[in-house]
Amino acid sequence: MHMNVIKWGNSLGVRIPRAFANKIGIHEGTSVEISLQDHSILIRKEYSLKSMLDQITPENIHNEIQTGPARGEEIW
Can you say how many angstroms the Cα of residue 2 is from the centroid of all Cα atoms in its chain?
Answer: 25
| Domains of the chain, start order | 6-52 (2.10.260.10)
**Of 3, 21, 24, nearest in space to 13 by CA:** 3
Side-chain-facing half-sphere of 47: CA atoms under 13 Å: 9
Q: What is the pLDDT of residues 8-41, one digit of tens each?
A: 999 999 999 999 999 988 999 998 999 999 999 9
- Say whether pTM exceeds 0.75: no
